A and B are shown apart, each in its own frame.
Chain A
Amino acid sequence: MATQMTLNVNGKAQTVTVDDPQMPLLYALRNDLGLHGPRFGCGLGQCGACTVNIDGKAMRSCQFPLAKAAGTKIVTLEGLGSSADPHPLQKAFIAEQAVQCGYCINGMIMQAKALLDTNRHPSDEQIKQALAHNLCRCGTHVRIVRAVKRAAAEMA
């Protein structure tokens, strides 16, 4: 039976209709709420393209059942900023041109956000370790590390 559920996404309460409470949060964000930040990459929690922040932690939304999302605060890439008013991380990725196809970039930024929330001055090695489970196939890694460093400097 379909039920209604309220999600707190990017500071707003949003209602979604749920057929299956085990449905990963990713599908609610993308299909019910029309968000494009979190991306489907593997559905297995292996690549990081679907990363969102839940109660301040970087989580893989493809592995996060909707049932557990009630009462949490969810922030997606859209919740950080927009092209008109970008978050320092988004600004830094633009400044460093740290994108090729860009499909993985949502995860890179959301994971980096969680890192910078707890470590304001990460070293290159710490950035690389924090992003070690986020996959990029285009080979944009060198720029991504530079972008996170740049954002850290700006936010410090």
Chain B
Amino acid sequence: MLNQTLSRRDFLKTGGSLVVTFSLSGLAPGVSAQSATVAKTVASDAVDGFVAIGADGSVSIYSGKVDLGTGVRTAVTQIAADELDVPFARVKVIQGDTMLTPDQGPTYGSLSIQIGGMQIRQACATARAALVAEAAKRLNSAPGDVATQDGMCVAKGQRIAYNELIGNKEFQLKVDPKASLKDPAKYQVVGQSVPRLDIPAKVTGEFQYMQDFRLPGMLHGRVIRPAGVRSELISYDDSLAQKIPGYVQIIRKDNYLAVVATSEWAAIRASRAVKAKWSKWEGLPDRKNLWEYVRKTKINKDEDLQKVGNSADALKNGAKKVGATYDFAIHTHGSIGPSCAVAEWKDGKVTCWSASQATHLLRKQMAQMLQMKEQDIRCLYIDGSGCYGRNGHEDAAADAVLIAKEVGKPVRVQWMRADEHGWDPKGPPTLIDYRGALDAKGNIAAWESEVYIPDRPPQIQVTLIAADLAGLPKEPAHPGNIHQALAIPYTVPNIKATAHWLAETPLKPSWIRTPGRMQNTFGNECFMDEMALAAGVDPVEFRLRHLNDKRGIECLERAAKLADWTPRKSRPEYSGDIAYGRGVSYIKYELVRTYVAVVANVEVNRKTGKIRVTKFHVAHDCGQIINPDGLKNQIEGNVVQTVSRTLIEELKFDRSMVTSLDWKSYPILTFPDVPEVAMDLIDRPNEKPWGAGEPTAAVVPSAISNAVFDALGIRLRSVPFTPDKVLAALKTV
């Protein structure tokens, strides 16, 4: 039943302005935790948690998942418009506001559409069914005779608009998991390449990023970072800073040191003028022996991630045996815009604007840090620079909250480049050992893998730096589910995939795009090629022999077709400086969702050791495609970013600190080295939509390594594939 009370009106006055605020016009959200009068439900099992229909027929969709630059805002708008049968332009999506949006979990793991979008689709389907039932009553029809279109219910030639039925009122319904969804054949915007809503504002300077957000009377903070990861602050002197016009004060809490000024430039100058003395700390391992260090790190526990048959016996009895070790360097997220946040305290309550991928989780962590109640903290999302996982956004938020509390005024903290490179949490180093055996027919008889990765605390969250340095309550850092995808998507009679969960890792870990899945798939799919070589079978053919999955087979075959794959033997040897090669790779993401198969083309210069990836061919099956062009954009991004990570990226550090503190010391791929990307999108409108934000990235490093082997007969088992590694490998053949 629809509830006919008007209790929403007050809220919608506020909420209505918020919709405008967070739309693309980019006006400052002036609503803070204190000014909202009526609480909107944020329950993730309530229709009203996700959907509100205004008196004017506008539709507000409340999404806990946020658009990190991936097009999720547009895709969710498409999903909601179709499921509700309202015009696309009438739907506005509000994202990541702990006071308004349900907690749908952090925006990670390629789950925004698969989980977040489908919760919203189900809420919309429930809402539509309720509207139909109400219209049926008013129109004296059976619900089965009521159709919906353009925000109206239609029966017997009569029509009644949604807003006449529910405008500004609550549904007061639980989301019905059985509410029937529309027939995909009737979708009008789902499946279409609807242009992204945010792009016109982003290319004209009209868009408001987090970094653009300002509050009246706001001060600017900058944090002065320790000289070593765990250095202690011995003393500081801000006498020179005091001479800078606009300088307000310095804040010290334990090892946390920050300056505050009335202007941004004054804050930057002051942060440089303060003389801080830090204790010497050299607790990081010697980077030259990183892999030895990882291998010798204390193991907290072992876990079998996949166990089939008896791999130990099968290894012993195998006709042909293969073994190899793979490693993958520490990577940083490398957001182009360093993290930024603004916080304001009022009457003991705090409001914090940031580009956090996880506003609900951030609020929980802030409550812990500040020993406050969660309901006294409001965290709001504003689009920032792409984060590709848990970068520094949450830490900047904690900085802003802490400093604002001290100075009693709103504070903006903009991280500098060295803050982001030096202090955002890192994708941890990953080491994997493989052993395999072939049977007499050349099929895989045994497969064993062991990955060395940092242990997971029970909760998925990353220590807030401010809490850590200031000696406030904090949580241990979780590296993300980096054990995923060590299990292989092939039919093999004896498999054992083991995780060695390590007691420590050099730098604070977190998830970075395709966490663990990229590293593990790098090892798996290269080792698959090593097994194929031992068997004397073409790598595509070898994979197909071990695949017993219709969609997987189709995906791999379509990638091979797209690339016009031919076995190595049928191609010429190259005698000049440049050798050409092609490599294949395949994944069924986490064994349960998105299929991706790729073929990489590379050119390797024998003299310089430089690898150029010239083209990627991608076949991609994520089920129902919401927005084909948006999907292509994501796949291209996955390929290009991961070519960068594979060929050149490696975070450097000395015994005290990260030394890759800018783009010179941590270069990323630039235009001249960007590959062409060809795609074959396999659309399955009647299947569930699965994630596409990261699966493609998983197969990129292995495809490149396999292509380099194809070109030169050298097996690159250590990411990044720098020229010196290529040249060293060439000396061995």
Tell me the residues in window 1-55 of chain A with beta carbons closer than 8 Å to chain B beta carbons: 2, 19-20, 23-24, 27, 30-31, 35-37, 39-44, 46-47, 49
Cα-based distance from A86 to B426 in the complex (angstroms)? 39
Flag if B336 contacts A90 (CB, 8 Å). Answer: no
Flag if A140 contacts B203 (CB, 8 Å). Answer: no
Residue of B nearest to A129 (CB): B672
Q: Is A103 an interface residue (CB 8 A)?
A: yes
Cα-based distance from A144 to B338 in the complex (angstroms)? 22
Cβ-neighbour of A19 out of B68, B263, B670 (below 8 A): B263
Flag if A102 contacts B676 (CB, 8 Å). Answer: no
Interface of A is mostly: loop
Tell me the residues in window 182-209 of chain B with beta carbons closer than 8 Å to chain A beta carbons: 195-196, 198-209
**Complex contacts, B203 vs chain A, CB 8 Å:** 77, 86, 90, 93-94, 99, 102, 105, 109
Flag if B196 contacts A97 (CB, 8 Å). Answer: yes
Flag if B641 contacts A103 (CB, 8 Å). Answer: no
Cα-based distance from A150 to B638 in the complex (angstroms)? 24
Interface string of A71-95 (1 = CB under 8 A from B): 0000011101111001000100110
Q: Is B286 an interface residue (CB 8 A)?
A: no
Q: Is B417 an interface residue (CB 8 A)?
A: yes
Interface of B is mostly: loop
Known: A93-B203, A101-B383. A135 touches B69 (CB 8 A): no
Known: A27-B264, A77-B205, A131-B671. A41 touches B637 (CB 8 A): no
Residue of A nearest to B387 (CB): A101
Cα-based distance from A100 to B203 in the complex (angstroms)? 11
Flag if B265 contacts A23 (CB, 8 Å). Answer: yes
Flag if A142 contacts B676 (CB, 8 Å). Answer: yes
Q: Is B663 an interface residue (CB 8 A)?
A: yes
Flag if A137 contacts B335 (CB, 8 Å). Answer: yes
Q: Is A56 an interface residue (CB 8 A)?
A: no
Residue of A nearest to B71 (CB): A100
Max chain B Cβ within 10 angstroms of own Cβ: one of A19, A35, A36, A144? A36
Known: A86-B203, A102-B69, A138-B637. A128 touches B386 (CB 8 A): no
Flag if B200 contacts A139 (CB, 8 Å). Answer: no
Flag if A78 contacts B338 (CB, 8 Å). Answer: no
Cα-based distance from A104 to B385 in the complex (angstroms)? 8
Q: Is B674 an interface residue (CB 8 A)?
A: yes
**Complex contacts, A39 vs chain B, CB 8 Å:** 209, 211, 337
Known: A46-B663, A101-B383. A31 touches B336 (CB 8 A): no
**Complex contacts, B200 vs chain A, CB 8 Å:** 83, 86, 90, 94
Flag if B641 contacts A83 (CB, 8 Å). Answer: no
Known: A131-B671, A139-B637, A140-B633. A106 touches B417 (CB 8 A): no
Cβ-neighbour of B265 out of A2, A27, A104, A143 (below 8 A): A27
Flag if B629 contacts A97 (CB, 8 Å). Answer: yes
Cα-based distance from A41 to B338 in the complex (angstroms)? 6
Flag if A46 contacts B201 (CB, 8 Å). Answer: no
Flag if B414 contacts A40 (CB, 8 Å). Answer: yes
Flag if B206 contacts A82 (CB, 8 Å). Answer: yes
Known: A44-B662, A138-B69, A140-B637. A93 touches B205 (CB 8 A): no
Q: Is A141 an interface residue (CB 8 A)?
A: yes
Residue of B nearest to A83 (CB): B200
Residue of B nearest to A93 (CB): B203
Cα-based distance from A23 to B416 in the complex (angstroms)? 15
Interface string of A139-156 (1 = CB under 8 A from B): 111111100000000000
Max chain A Cβ within 10 angstroms of own Cβ: one of B196, B202, B668? B202
Cα-based distance from A101 to B382 in the complex (angstroms)? 12
Tell me the residues in window 205-226 of chain B with beta carbons closer than 8 Å to chain A beta carbons: 205-209, 211-212
Residue of A nearest to B677 (CB): A142
**Complex contacts, A24 vs chain B, CB 8 Å:** 265
Q: Is A133 an interface residue (CB 8 A)?
A: yes
Cβ-neighbour of B207 out of A36, A41, A104, A140 (below 8 A): A36
Q: Is B228 an interface residue (CB 8 A)?
A: no
In the A-B complex, list the 10 residue pairs whose CB atoms are closest, starting with the nearest: A101-B69, A139-B640, A37-B205, A101-B386, A102-B202, A139-B637, A103-B385, A83-B200, A128-B671, A77-B205
